[in-house]
Amino acid sequence: MVFSEHLFLLVFLPVCLAGFHLLRHIGLYRGSALWLVVFSFIFYGYWNLAYLAILIISIFVNYLLGLYLYRAKQSFMSLLAMLSGVVFNLGLIFYFKYAGFLLYDVAQVSELEWLAREILLPIGISFFTFQQVAYIVDCRAGRTYEPSLINYMLFISCFPQLIAGPVVNHKYVGSQYEALTREGQINQTIIKFGLILFVIGLAKKVLLADTIGRGVDPMFDATLQGGEVGFWQAWFMVSAYRVQLYFDFSGYSDMAIGLAALFGFRLPINFNSPYKSKSIIELWGRWHMTLSRFVRDYVYIPLGGSRHGKAVQLRNIFIGMFLIGIWHGAAWTFVWYALAMASAVCFNHMVRIFWPAFTAWNTLFARAFKQTLTLMFYFGTGALFRAENMDSANAILYGLFGFGHGQALAFPIIEPLFLIFCIIALCITLYTPNSLQITRYTEDLSKSWPNEEESAAAVKPKGYGYVEPISLHLEKYRLTYFICGLLVAICIAAGWQPAIFIYFNF
């Protein structure tokens, strides 16, 4: 079930919301949390009941392990138990996501070709296993603990973030889920903003991302057997695809935060205008932010972080970025994509170390130049990220450098209106406030949403997760809700075409 499907918008979400708030209205607060768990299981089981069984088994194993680790002393046995839990969780990812690729494509064991075909990858397995890896590590360290099975099931399976993220840390949502099981009113303002943010995300996904995707997919399909791709054709393909990916992922991120708000809690920011970045480091700091934080906290820092000199730090950065790259899929295209991204981020760090004048160069021309370099590299690597095999990737990469060779490929004609549509969409990513700014969102639970504290005298905090609020106050106008209803109706009307879901590899 995809957030933009008719079944989700017209049946699942209304019934889930109505039951949840009715149970809270009559005082069954723990029942409302259980209701949300049950509907999250229904949401996940809709894809495949076998997936649901894997999810439930994983939840119970990690819940019991967390109970033991939090209560056990810091001993060899608790360390062994934690490591066993990490191996269990990563083993699920390894088997379902990488076993077929490693045995057939890497080891060249042709007798196991069937394995690559037969293993079905459970949707979102990386998200819920990463959350549980972090949870059991934090339990042993005494940083967090969840005694309630209902709350733990909600933490892992809550459907707004289950299939496309964000990767949620229990320390962030645990207290919020506990509050749902106690008596109290849900902030109605949060619900209003949740509705607005969900509709913005839905429109991004259906009207922008899916429209571009249906235009560029046939172009990538034409390259499956290799061949000659023209220079401008190649750059249009990768640029349009990266714009599609931007609106798809940012749309899902908006919908996740919006859906969570409809039930009265907040999720962390996962996407914050990455195409406005002036370096590849900044771009990755603003793209899939919770995944980057997970790798930082549970890979980069345990490896030593920046504590043992620049060479070791660069090694740790390379390992972390390579893991982020290969996380996106099990294929040679993703291996090369991971190597390219890890190398680029390390090179960017080396420039900061050995050429500080370039980093400090901050004129208008410098910012435009750095942004252009960043986007050209990132868009160009879209050939590896989107291509279904190396023949396709190589054909596009050769075209990007004007070295196209082989038989000329017959591409679908790029309609002028579609070209203009893609250019406008790109301009939106570069020059307009993002949806979190418009809705004045803050993930800081110590501050209220909407975030009203910004003023001329306010000091902007550092970090890529900072959202500068734009004081439009859309929630005050009836026209806002009329437009929201109109956008939902348009998105439903556009649903005669199959919903596009690009996160099957995750």
**What are the residue numbers of the active site?**
328
Structural contact between residues 278 and 370, judged by C-beta atoms closer than 8 angstroms = yes
Q: In the 3-class helix/strand/coil scheme, how is 375-436 assigned residue by residue? A: HHHHHHCHHHHHCCCHHHHHHHHHHHCCCCCCCECCCCCCCHHHHHHHHHHHHHHHHCCCHH
Q: Which helix (H) or strand (E) holds 113?
A: helix 113-118
Burial label for 401, CB within 10 Å (0-12, 13-18, 19+), is: exposed
Query: What are the beta bridge partners of residue 271?
Result: 287
Residues in Cβ contact with 30 at an 8 Å cutoff, skipping those fewer than 6 apart: 150, 181
E-only strand ranges, 158-284:
none
Structural contact between residues 32 and 263, judged by C-beta atoms closer than 8 angstroms = no
What whole-number distance in Å separates Cα of residue 363 and Cα of residue 394?
A: 37
> DSSP string covering 337-380, please?
HHHHHHHHHHHHHHHHHH-HHHHH--SHHHHHHHHHHHHHHHHH
Structural contact between residues 384 and 340, judged by C-beta atoms closer than 8 angstroms = yes
What whole-number distance in Å separates Cα of residue 206 and Cα of residue 501?
A: 11
Residues in Cβ contact with 6 at an 8 Å cutoff, skipping those fewer than 6 apart: 492, 495
> DSSP string covering 142-160, please?
TS-----HHHHHHHHH-GG
Q: Tokens at residue 104, please?
A: 């057939």
Q: Phi-psi bin for 418: left (phi > 0), alpha (psi -120 to 50), beta?
A: alpha
Q: Is 287 helix (H, G, I), strand (E, B) or coil?
A: strand
Locate all alpha helices (DSSP H) within 263-363, ordered by sequence.
280-286, 289-295, 310-327, 332-354, 356-360
